[in-house]
Structure 1
Amino acid sequence: MSSSSAKPSLKTRERLSEVRYEIRGELARRARELEAQGRKQIKLNIGNPGAFGFRAPEHLQRAIADRIADTDPYTHQQGLPAAREAIAAFHRQRGTPNASPERVFVGNGVSELIDLSLRALLNPGDEVLLPSPDYPLWSAATILNDGRPVYYRCRAENGFLPDPDEIAQLVSSRTRAIVLINPNNPTGATYSREILERIVAIAAKHNLLLMADEIYDHILYDDATFEPLAPLAGDIPCLSFGGLSKVHRACGWRVGWAVLSGDPLRSGDFHHAMDLLGALRLCANVPGQFAIDAALHGTDTISALTAAGGRLYETRRALIDCCDASEHLQLVAPAGALYGFPAVVGDAAKGFDDHAFALEMLETEDVLIVPGSSFNVPERNHFRVTLLPEAPVLREVFARIERVLQRRADAAASTRVAVA
């Protein structure tokens, strides 16, 4: 044995053991191994439009190409002035109070800004109220910035909507913020004005920061509507997140933004902290910022995809049809976003473990899905799929899901007969 092999391995940060991100975790690694063996996988684990043939709109591509000669230098840590003005103008049109370029932060996707904002806010042991299910980056960023996630339940039997009364009961002396994901990932729920107003009142009573993840704001189906949080928050500090990744199908450009609204005097220190942290990483990706104005004030390219006959709409309809036709699945139909979050029920749910099911789907059916418990829910009977493939592909996926669930249901029934 060499002397180097006898030395202890490098230690890593202990809190990483509390972090889960199965969307790109163990199952995704196993899928790559199977692909290396020549097996073709249908990957429904990531909301990545470009992987399913979607392209960023042409007028956004032109906006970058026309300014590519101007993209070499660093820009201001909060973003290009013209890009921040475009974002502020968009929010003023929504009724966001005190929306100005000085209060806009452009980041390398919303993911980076979530991390920066929680780092600016939290001291060790501070609490953040998060939805369950949540997008797990929110939990991970809270934990890695020495905070504590405290979950308010968004239950399927309530349409995956939050209960403001429960949120109010969870507030403690250590609570610093309430996070809302609307439209929701992973459930597709959209929140009513009445629910949002009640949550705003909780934040006002306890002097909390509102953090509104609104990256899917224009991805809506049927008669669903979207209510932005900042106009309802008024003078209460509110950080609203948006970006180009989903509505504009430009994930790889890594362009996101956060708008700090409300009374500037109440959020001045937080603003300065965000500015400092942004400066430490120099600036966000510059080329993609030249597409922001065209995205927010140019041609609408998402509505045709979400309207009847549009690709996203028809895939969503396939999801609903497949779940309706199955005795093993229940679905709260998504009103927005890019996902479905079905529950396994009946005999197929007996002894069900969502991670084991996801692994079985991968090993036996070449389908990659995400276990529902990865989204910080206590139940183990949900899974998430994206709505990005063509409708026939999703129907094929659910035919494979049905085969696996039927085998489970038959085994449960046989066990019951044998016991009887």
Structure 2
Amino acid sequence: MDNGIKKCDGAQEVDHHQTPRNMTIKGILGLLMANVDADDKRRVISLGMGDPSAYSCFHTTAVAEQAVADTLSSQKFNGYAPTVGLPQTRTAIAEYLSCDLPYKLSPDDAFVTAGCTQAIDVALTILARPGVNILLPRPGFPIYELCAAFRNLEVRHFDLIPEKGWEVDLDAVESLADSNTVAMVIINPGNPCGNVYTYQHLKKIAETAKRLKFIVIADEVYGHLAFGDNTFVPMGVFGSIVPILTLGSLSKRWIVPGWRLGWFVINDPCSTFKNPKVIERIKKYFDICGGPATFIQAAVPHILQQTEEVFFTKTINTLKQTADICCNKIKEIHCITCPHKPQGSMAVMVKLNLSLLKGISDDIDFCFKLAKEESVIILPGIAVGMENWVRITFAVDPSSLEEALGRVKCFYQRHSYRQTEC
């Protein structure tokens, strides 16, 4: 085992042409891992999963670890928490998010969830009703499509524009929306694209949503993980223009995805969406879906209030370094191009040029053959809605990232119409 990633012993080749297009990211990455050649003695390097905790250069702060240890050892938090979350946890989340807003959130605006995935499920569930639709970005995070399917919620996709820093195609939003549209989703900082939206673009999104009469779901699980020219602006800043449902978690910023601590927050200072009926519906749903461990919830106030800025700065600097390495190495691999250098989050989308490759039919074929021949895992773009693109995660230690992309270069040279020695 190396960096928490184990090569699959006795792996058998997977018929990737039968890979369903609607699998989860984890499901597809599992199939890719199973396709690794068991006789390859090199370590498997995954640039597919956004779990930075697998690498030694990314680790959480001692403040967070001690806070959890203290709440667990106190024996005060072994019982059930309120289904909407511990009061002190909801207060801490509301105060934390309010620091970046022109108004103050109430603890009653914040609900504690089992990671951002549950927050997504809550958001789509409370909006679902017969005949309505929701607008989702392409590329995007496939959990939204899966949750929508379970709720019989029609999905309509609007494109993000690579040449404009993956901005929302607002003209497409205008043409897709109708009287049955209940919400649009934005992911900022972007997964899978690495974009960070400007204040001006976010304001245009809010004004468009207001004019078309739907709310905005703001997925900010990568909140504040910005290292380019654009600073992170929470969508909740525009809550006075249009109601915003903010989804977030500790997982990425604090490097603790396995703690499964997230939040669902209503940014609606004008109370145009938030009313007793809506709140009662939310509370009833929380009664049946459960939440994160009580002792993890109890640690949240200390984590949010006591984590020093130097911890965040170190993470940001490391991500900037690895993003730079990723982009520079990609320039050496002529079959992939990066239309926009990442400015945040932990991943980047790159376009495949299949015309330069022999025997590679599409992005799935590329990724499965890469896994088998080079023991490198990257995510096919079809998993996030973009055929013949791939997503590369750069939240990896620099040496592993350089080695992995060096192997991708060898793979390209071997499959190129102009074969050269690696």
TM-score band, normalised by the shorter chain? 0.7 to 0.9
Q: String of CA shifts for 1:195-246, please: whole Å, max 9, x gaps.
A: 1111111221232121000111111113331111112131522111111100
* Root mean square deviation, CA, Å: 2.3
How far apart in 2 are the matches of 1:33 and 1:166?
38
Match for residue 418 of structure 1? none
Which of 309, 314, 320 is residue 321 of structure 2 equivalent to? Answer: 314
Given that residues 97 and 261 in structure 1 are in contact (C-alpha distance below 8 angstroms), is that contact kept between their aligned partners in structure 2? Answer: no
Which of 286, 300, 315 is residue 305 of structure 1 equivalent to? Answer: 315
Match for residue 275 of structure 1? 283
1:25 aligned onto 2:27: yes
Identity of aligned residues (%): 26
1:107 aligned onto 2:113: yes
1:330 aligned onto 2:337: yes
Query: Could you say if the C-alpha distance between residues 207 and 96 of structure 1 is closer, same or farther in structure 2, counting changes exceeding 3 Å?
Result: farther
Give the alignment's TM-score, normalised by structure 2.
Answer: 0.87
Question: SS state of the match for residue 304, structure 1?
Answer: helix
1:357 aligned onto 2:366: yes
Question: Which 4+ residue blocks in structure 1 deviate beyond 6 angstroms?
Answer: 35-38
Runs of 5+ unmatched residues, structure 1: 1-16, 414-420
Deviation at 1:32, TM superposition (A): 4.2
After superposing the two structures, state which structure 1 stretch, 110-119 or 27-36, moved more: 27-36
How far apart in 1 are the matches of 2:69 and 2:363?
45
Give the alignment's TM-score, normalised by structure 1.
Answer: 0.87
Match for residue 44 of structure 1? 47
Q: Which amino acid aligns with 2:22?
A: R
How far apart in 2 are the matches of 1:400 and 1:125?
49
Structure 2 matches for 1:171-250, cutoff 5 A? 171-234=177-240, 236-250=242-256
Query: Could you say if the C-alpha distance between residues 270 and 297 of structure 1 is closer, same or farther in structure 2, counting changes exceeding 3 Å?
Result: same
Deviation at 1:96, TM superposition (A): 5.6
Given that residues 216 and 337 in structure 1 are in contact (C-alpha distance below 8 angstroms), is that contact kept between their aligned partners in structure 2? Answer: yes
Which of 141, 146, 152 is residue 135 of structure 1 equivalent to? Answer: 141
Q: Which amino acid aligns with 1:243?
A: S
Which of 122, 127, 138 is residue 121 of structure 1 equivalent to? Answer: 127
Which of 61, 72, 76 is residue 57 of structure 1 equivalent to? Answer: 61
Q: String of CA shifts for 1:86-124, please: whole Å, max 9, x gaps.
A: 111122222264511111110100101101221111123
After superposing the two structures, state which structure 1 stretch, 243-252 or 46-55, moved more: 46-55
How far apart in 1 are the matches of 2:419 and 2:216?
46
Question: SS state of the match for residue 154, structure 1?
Answer: strand
Deviation at 1:313, TM superposition (A): 2.1
Q: Which amino acid aligns with 2:285?
A: L
Query: Could you say if the C-alpha distance between residues 373 and 19 of structure 1 is closer, same or farther in structure 2, counting changes exceeding 3 Å?
Result: closer
How far apart in 2 are the matches of 1:80 and 1:325?
51
Which of 70, 78, 87 is residue 93 of structure 2 equivalent to? Answer: 87
Given that residues 354 and 371 in structure 1 are in contact (C-alpha distance below 8 angstroms), is that contact kept between their aligned partners in structure 2? Answer: yes
Q: Which amino acid aligns with 2:337?
A: Q
Given that residues 67 and 303 in structure 2 are in contact (C-alpha distance below 8 angstroms), is that contact kept between their aligned partners in structure 1? Answer: no
Runs of 5+ unmatched residues, structure 2: 1-18
Deviation at 1:412, TM superposition (A): 9.9
Match for residue 5 of structure 2? none
Q: Which amino acid aligns with 1:47?
A: G
Given that residues 213 and 241 in structure 1 are in contact (C-alpha distance below 8 angstroms), is that contact kept between their aligned partners in structure 2? Answer: yes
Match for residue 159 of structure 1? 165
Question: SS state of the match for residue 191, structure 2?
Answer: coil
Which of 340, 350, 353 is residue 345 of structure 1 equivalent to? Answer: 353
Q: String of CA shifts for 1:336-364, please: whole Å, max 9, x gaps.
A: 00012111237426864000000001111
How far apart in 1 are the matches of 2:148 and 2:20?
11
How far apart in 2 are the matches of 1:153 and 1:204?
20
After superposing the two structures, state which structure 1 stretch, 98-107 or 27-36, moved more: 27-36
Match for residue 13 of structure 1? none
Question: SS state of the match for residue 183, structure 1?
Answer: coil
How far apart in 1 are the matches of 2:107 and 2:355?
56
How far apart in 2 are the matches of 1:353 and 1:390?
29
1:72 aligned onto 2:75: no
Question: SS state of the match for residue 363, structure 1?
Answer: helix
Deviation at 1:144, TM superposition (A): 1.7
Q: Which amino acid aligns with 1:111?
A: T
After superposing the two structures, state which structure 1 stretch, 331-340 or 21-30, moved more: 21-30
Given that residues 218 and 245 in structure 2 are in contact (C-alpha distance below 8 angstroms), is that contact kept between their aligned partners in structure 1? Answer: yes
After superposing the two structures, state which structure 1 stretch, 79-88 or 381-390, moved more: 381-390
Query: Could you say if the C-alpha distance between residues 252 and 357 of structure 1 is closer, same or farther in structure 2, counting changes exceeding 3 Å?
Result: same
Task: State the number of aligned residues.
Answer: 392
After superposing the two structures, state which structure 1 stretch, 256-265 or 243-252, moved more: 256-265
How far apart in 2 are the matches of 1:164 and 1:295?
38
Question: SS state of the match for residue 342, structure 1?
Answer: strand
Query: Could you say if the C-alpha distance between residues 352 and 225 of structure 1 is closer, same or farther in structure 2, counting changes exceeding 3 Å?
Result: farther
Query: Could you say if the C-alpha distance between residues 21 and 51 of structure 1 is closer, same or farther in structure 2, counting changes exceeding 3 Å?
Result: farther
Question: SS state of the match for residue 185, structure 1?
Answer: coil
How far apart in 1 are the matches of 2:32 and 2:380?
14
